[in-house]
């Protein structure tokens, strides 16, 4: 059973995600205003100079995949699965080259970058695009939403392993300098990581300008190291031919399947190409990949292969052993800087993804701080920041070296790659309307390749692959619990909804005292009487001169421009029903949005405007809702959610909160 006590579960102004339907009431009337077009024109590409965009893409997009040279070759050869023969070295290097070619160059750079959501990319944007494309198939849409949200939750598991293995593998270069440094590797790694997370609250606008040049210097350095070794064995370049990869797989099918879990390490970070498309545009990302990143990576991998042919004992750390002794310390410092930058991009991505998921309605409100007055995307979420840090410290202390962490790395990455391929199929089939045969032909190869890497990584589960899955699974359960709890609260609200027009008609038969100023009542259901209005009339027996009943809605598009932000319907007696629309990447600033009401005859003065919200207390009860432990989890998440006033950007000295109780 569901019961409500003076409850309007959404009157606290939590945005409703597109697709959550409002209740149908007999007295609902068509709005006389011009309706907002929910899918505005695509956002224009960035207007910065092309060289600056390319340099920025090198610094932000390719930091993760660029640091994979630190550990990928070592993990393939380091466990004794592959004997040191010339043919085997050629075969492994050929697998690296064609893994980069098929997954990064063809799948992401050529195909997936075309599937932009109003100029934005990333798994959340792809999920929104795919779910919109199948909106007329509700069951399929629901399945895609669950699959996409699961992939998004795995991003956090990846976000724990990536900084841990990247920084740890860079600092492990000190062991090549001198074995005496071995005992200092973990402490130095933890100090570097703490410094990285401690500066997040200050923002990255100041140091961000150095990301591109430092990462470019990193790619130049790894290319030079590779060329130096390749010149000693130029015949190693023959491994570019796919013949060697196919021959190795044919001769060693079992071994090939096992080492796919390590081979995939060379493409970790490929998702960043798509995720950061909105920041730099497709062109700069593609140019940076083909002109700088891919050549540098291939040269370095070939250099490591040439070194192993010369000295098989270098397998303990082939990357750092390519460098002359005098360059080891500078190379360790440069590698550490590169891994910190790669980790920074991932942390920033975690903040961005969290905000998007909150606005889509899958997580409760969290405290979001803006760290730049010039750049809207520069945000800091303390809970996410320190939650990631604690999990990363736990990973470093548990696994203790990059080889052990590599066993935990890959499962989340390959799962996300597989999900991206699946969602891409539905986008090109139902959004682009391409023939079924073309859709299957264009995605089947990627699906087979991604599934092979995914299946190989399942072998890592007992060795550490469970760790990122545990993190992702826990977040996935919280997301589903929050979404289901919101749905149950919506049922309570609909069960006791009072039609706003009918109520106002009855109130103005014998109107209460009108006082100066404007009252803004927040509710997530348009056309419903908010509890705050009932309390105000019951206890204060007054009504403001102007009354705005405001609903905030988030949609499955990245951006909704200001000129399409609000739709407004007059209710008479200086009352208006207003719906404010946001994309999942828009910054929510309700007072700024309501300024547009002035153009339609509603004058808002900030000094005389009050915002009325309802703060609900959720009480789990026995009945037909969720399992008792999930209801308790939802109640705790609801209790710990940050205030709606802060989330909506309301002035704290103009907010009135009224409590209510909801039983689910």
**pLDDT value at residue 206:** 61
**pLDDT value at residue 639:** 83
* SS3 of 474-493: HHHHHHHHHHHHHHHHHHHH
Token readout for 242 is: 């796919």
Cβ atoms 643, 501 nearer than 8 A: no
Q: In angstroms, rounded to a whole number, what is the distance separating the alpha carbons of residues 358 and 587?
A: 12
**pLDDT value at residue 281:** 84
The residue length of the chain stands at: 664
Name the stretches of the chain with pLDDT < 70.
1-48, 80, 204-207, 372-377, 623-624, 659
Cα Rg for the chain, rounded, in angstroms? 28
Q: In angstroms, rounded to a whole number, what is the distance separating the alpha carbons of residues 321 and 305?
A: 12
Q: From 204, 462, 240, 225, select the one nearest 343 (Cα to Cα).
A: 204
Q: In angstroms, rounded to a whole number, what is the distance separating the alpha carbons of residues 391 and 405?
A: 13
Cβ atoms 394, 408 nearer than 8 A: no
For residue 364, the 8-state DSSP code is -
Q: In angstroms, rounded to a whole number, what is the distance separating the alpha carbons of residues 442 and 38?
A: 30
Q: In angstroms, rounded to a whole number, what is the distance separating the alpha carbons of residues 464 and 476?
A: 19
**pLDDT value at residue 375:** 56
**Ranges for all domains in the chain classified under CATH 1.20.1740.10:** 62-482
Fold for the domain defined by 62-482? Amino acid/polyamine transporter I (1.20.1740)
Q: In angstroms, rounded to a whole number, what is the distance separating the alpha carbons of residues 290 and 644?
A: 46
User: Which helix (H) or strand (E) segment is 303 a member of?
Assistant: helix 294-310
Cβ atoms 585, 356 nearer than 8 A: yes
Token readout for 266 is: 């060379």
**pLDDT value at residue 49:** 84
């Amino acid at each position: 059973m569901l019961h409500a006590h003076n409850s309007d579960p959404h009157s606290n102004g939590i945005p409703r995600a597109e697709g959550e339907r409002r209740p149908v009431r007999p007295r609902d009337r068509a709005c006389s205003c011009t309706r907002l077009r929910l899918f505005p024109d695509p956002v224009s590409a960035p207007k910065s100079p092309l060289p600056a965009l390319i340099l920025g893409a090198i610094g932000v997009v390719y930091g993760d995949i660029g640091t994979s040279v630190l550990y990928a070759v070592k993990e393939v050869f380091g466990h004794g699965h592959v004997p040191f023969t010339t043919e085997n070295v050629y075969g492994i290097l050929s697998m690296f080259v064609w893994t980069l070619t098929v997954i990064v160059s063809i799948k992401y750079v050529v195909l997936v970058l075309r599937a932009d959501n109003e100029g934005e990319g990333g798994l959340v944007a792809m999920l929104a695009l795919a779910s919109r494309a199948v909106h007329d198939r509700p069951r399929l849409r629901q399945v895609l939403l669950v699959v996409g949200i699961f992939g998004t939750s795995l991003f956090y598991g990846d976000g724990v392993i990536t900084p841990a293995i990247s920084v740890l593998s860079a600092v492990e270069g000190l062991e090549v300098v001198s074995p005496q440094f071995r005992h200092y590797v973990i402490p130095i790694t933890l100090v570097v990581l703490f410094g990285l997370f401690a500066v997040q609250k200050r923002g990255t606008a100041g140091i961000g300008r150095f990301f591109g040049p430092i990462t470019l210097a990193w790619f130049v350095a790894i290319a030079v190291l590779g060329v130096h070794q390749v010149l000693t064995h130029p015949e190693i370049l023959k491994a570019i031919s796919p013949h060697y990869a196919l021959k190795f797989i044919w001769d060693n099918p079992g071994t090939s399947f096992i080492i796919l879990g390590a081979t995939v390490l060379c493409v970790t970070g490929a998702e960043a190409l798509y995720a950061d498309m909105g920041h730099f545009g497709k062109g700069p990302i593609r140019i940076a990949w083909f002109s700088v990143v891919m050549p540098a990576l291939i040269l370095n991998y070939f250099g490591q292969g040439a070194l192993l042919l010369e000295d098989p004992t270098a397998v303990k750390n082939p990357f750092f052993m390519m460098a002359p002794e005098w360059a080891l310390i500078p190379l360790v410092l440069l590698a550490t800087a590169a891994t910190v930058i790669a980790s920074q991009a991932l942390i920033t991505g975690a903040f961005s993804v969290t905000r998007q998921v909150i606005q889509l309605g899958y997580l409760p409100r969290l405290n979001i701080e803006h760290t730049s007055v010039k750049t809207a995307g520069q945000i800091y979420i303390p809970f996410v920041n320190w939650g990631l840090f604690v999990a990363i410290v736990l990973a470093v202390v548990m696994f203790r070296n990059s080889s052990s962490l590599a066993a935990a790395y890959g499962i989340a990455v390959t799962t996300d790659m597989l999900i991206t391929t699946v969602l891409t199929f539905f986008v090109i089939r139902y959004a682009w309307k391409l023939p079924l045969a073309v859709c299957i032909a264009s995605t089947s190869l990627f699906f087979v390749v991604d599934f092979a890497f995914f299946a190989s990584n399942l072998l890592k589960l007992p060795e550490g692959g469970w760790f990122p899955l545990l993190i992702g699974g826990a977040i996935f359960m919280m997301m589903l619990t929050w979404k289901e709890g919101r749905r149950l609260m919506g049922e309570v609200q609909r069960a006791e909804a009072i039609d706003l027009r009918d109520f106002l008609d009855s109130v103005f038969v014998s109107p209460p005292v009108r006082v100066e100023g404007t009252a803004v009542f927040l509710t997530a259901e348009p056309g419903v009487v908010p509890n705050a209005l009932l309390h105000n009339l019951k206890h204060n027996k007054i009504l403001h001169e102007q009354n705005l009943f405001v609903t905030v809605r988030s949609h499955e598009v990245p951006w909704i421009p200001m000129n399409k932000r609000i739709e407004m319907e007059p209710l008479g007696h200086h009352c208006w029903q207003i719906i404010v629309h946001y994309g999942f990447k828009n910054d929510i600033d309700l007072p700024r949005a309501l300024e547009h009401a002035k153009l339609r005859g509603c004058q808002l003065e900030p000094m005389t405007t009050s915002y009325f919200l309802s703060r609900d207390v959720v009480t789990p009860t026995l009945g037909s809702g969720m399992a008792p432990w999930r209801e308790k989890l939802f109640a705790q998440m609801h209790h710990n959610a940050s205030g709606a006033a802060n989330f909506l950007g309301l002035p704290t000295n103009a907010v009135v909160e009224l409590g209510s109780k909801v039983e689910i």
